[in-house]
Structure 1
Amino acid sequence: MAVEDNRLNLIQSRIRDFPDFPQKGIIFRDICPILKDPAALSAVTSLFEEHVRAQFQQVDLVVGLDARGFLFGPLLAQRLGVGFVLVRKKGKLPGATVSVAYNLEYGKAEAEIQEDAVAPGQKVILIDDLLATGGTLYAACSLMNQQRAEVLGCLVVVELKELNGADKIKPHPVYSLLKY
């Protein structure tokens, strides 16, 4: 437990707060310093890997959300020995895609996945940097449901508890390294 606490302390020490960004009243939690620090990045990846291995007997794919899920997802997938799949903003993927519309705090958006990226019955873990209102993760879960994949859980580095995003994606469990 002390080792885990040390890793969490390291990760937390690398999160920078930017008040009033992108608008007044919001504190932006910047994860970029984690990416510059190999020990902090390794701590994130190790904690995610340990959680997944302890909780799930089989994982077939790690699914990363555009764009910061692309940073952590491939590292976790490599450690788990599984593939990595992208959920992108609409219009960014070639070939046949499946999409879903969703609401953001500040408007609407669409997410999509390549039609053949996930096979029915595959067990997937979703990963992103931040859980706020849950709109993006909810959309990704919806895409996985359309593909008839089994969402085992969602992983995030930071969860903003007061926005209740985890409630939106129930019954899928959320594992957050840090909660604000």
Structure 2
Amino acid sequence: MQPATQTVPVSVWSNPWHNLAFGFGSGTLPKAPGTWGSLVALAFVPLLQMLSGWAYGVVIIASMLFGIWLCGKVAEDLGVHDHEGIVWDEFAGIWITFWLVPAGWYWLLLGFVVFRILDIFKPWPICWVDRHVHGGLGIMLDDILAGFAACGLMHLMVLWLG
């Protein structure tokens, strides 16, 4: 569990890796940095949805692998397990949520809410991963799982609400 508010490192504005991990600065906002990071990531979804399904999948895999390295590096640089301002994991989770989901503002809104609920409340096994897996993988994995769960729920809703 992280402290309620952590100090924003100055390096977010001078180190490109830190800036990226902090979601182009969205993770520096004082309340709910994960939500702000998810909103910034959401802005990229319509662009990703223009890709073919396999190309979007490649972006997801790349964002996950890169994120494991990036989040681990930045957490180590800052000397913390998982700074609350590191939101690259939310980027990957949001992008996973919308893989093969139809385009449209209502799907964006619904997927955002579904992902945030899963990321905040962390149902099992997400909560177990959050507590027991550390380093860059630990920072990323709970959001990756939340993203895949949200993606599955979105596909069920697409079938149901169509």
Please report the TM-score for the alignment, with normalisation by the length of structure 2.
0.28
* Structure whose residues are more often helix by fraction: 2
